[in-house]
Amino acid sequence: MRFTTILMAAVLIGLVSVTSAADTGGAGLPISQTAISPALIKLAVQVLDEHPGVQAARAALDAAQARGRAADRPLYNPALELDAERAETDAAFVGISQSIDWADKRGARTDISVLAVQSEQAGLALVRQEIIVELLAALNAYYTAQETVQLVGRRVELMEEFFNLAEQRFNAGDIARTDVDLARLALSEARMQSARLASESAAANANLGALVLNRPQHWPTFPRLPTELERVDDDALLVRHPRLRQLRARTDAARANIELAQRERRADPTLGVRGGKEESETLIGLTISIPLFVRNNFRAEVEVASAEAQRDEQAYRDVYRRTRSDLEAASARYRLTRAALSDWQQGGQASLRDRVELLKQLWEAGEISTTDYLVQLQQTLDTRSSAVELNGATKAAWVDWLDASGLAVAWLGLGSEQ
């Protein structure tokens, strides 16, 4: 509730300025390139090189490329025939036969294999994208938890100081016992919150460490966020998304499989040449055999391929629609949270710097009651915590946008791997 209140207030203040800035954005890249620390690039490269998911995707790509080389080889090898007979008349024959790929099934299989390689290339890019997104999300969660722990540590210090001062003023007869009890309850609550957040910080550190085999001495900082997100054609952006490229290649391969199934219905003839001798006579023969697809005309295989192509086409459309919706939602969420964070950094942050000390002076001077002091102090500290949450939420929204747009790897400047 605290975070929602702060966020909505800041959004209402900065909404107009954000809208005008976004509308005037150019038609280039939707992000302004920010400086990425070498430490983060090194860590990202290390994670990608070591991750078993990337290794598995590379192996799948190698297998697809090997299948492509196999598909490009001729379908049939020649057959050699030897025949010898010793009876009343001795005879010996030698022949060679070759089946002919009359319908160019080899070409159809090669087309399918090329699309399969494209699918696996996109699959490798998708795995790399997902790992970078996971790394950035874990890094954001770690630093958000660290900042929150520091804030709650400061809260415990202030509540301990408040409790000690309350006891001193009670002994001096300045305040009642209920005020001391109130201070003790506030201190207990702060300590319980500190223990809970310390546990969450340890979990965030463990999640980040699970991605890295050799942990660095210090985790790299999260890159500075772009100040604005320009409006671009989402469809043009999604064309390059690895998830959609993978599904599109699979759909094209399914369509190509229909052509292969149709060509499989065409019989391939086998031509043979046979020569030999029977007694003193020389014999030469030519044979041709053609399979008769009478009992099975393989029409069902075409129907299967057509149905599978239709299934893959609809799956692609569904994922495209969902991904486009995710991108639109992520873009709106980032613009709003980024505007709220900018408003806080420009105005609200400065107004809280001296408020804690001012409240303490007013309470000690007796100008505000213990209850008012505690309420206002808690509100001040809660606002600071909400600011940290807003910062983390803005970074999380940015990571979500990178995931929806497929630009996480490109943002870090790592390029693509084929």
Q: For 38-67, write each residue's pLDDT tens digit.
A: 999 999 999 999 999 999 999 999 999 999
- 353 pLDDT band (50/70/90 cuts)? low
pLDDT at 5: 37
Mean pLDDT score, 163-170: 82
- 83 pLDDT band (50/70/90 cuts)? confident
Strand runs labelled E in 222-347 = 270-278, 281-289
Mean pLDDT score, 31-41: 77
pLDDT at 206: 87
Residue 84 pLDDT more than 80? yes
Tokens of 143: 């630093």
- 2 pLDDT band (50/70/90 cuts)? very low
- 378 pLDDT band (50/70/90 cuts)? confident
- What percent of the chain clears pLDDT 90, i.e. is strictly above it? 46
pLDDT at 416: 65
Please count the CA atoms within 13 angstroms of the CA of 400 that sit on its side-chain side.
20
Is the separation of the CB atoms in 34 and 398 below 8 Å?
A: no
- 21 pLDDT band (50/70/90 cuts)? very low
Domain 2-76+107-246+320-411, CATH homologous superfamily name and number: Outer membrane efflux proteins (OEP) (1.20.1600.10)
pLDDT at 354: 67
Residue 25 pLDDT more than 50? no
pLDDT at 230: 74
Domain residue limits, the chain: 2-76+107-246+320-411
Cβ atoms within 10 Å of 365's Cβ, excluding its own: 8
Mean pLDDT score, 223-247: 87
The four Cα atoms 231, 235, 238, 240 give a dihedral, to 10 degrees, of: -100
pLDDT at 117: 96
For residue 329, the Cα-to-chain-centroid distance in whole angstroms is 16
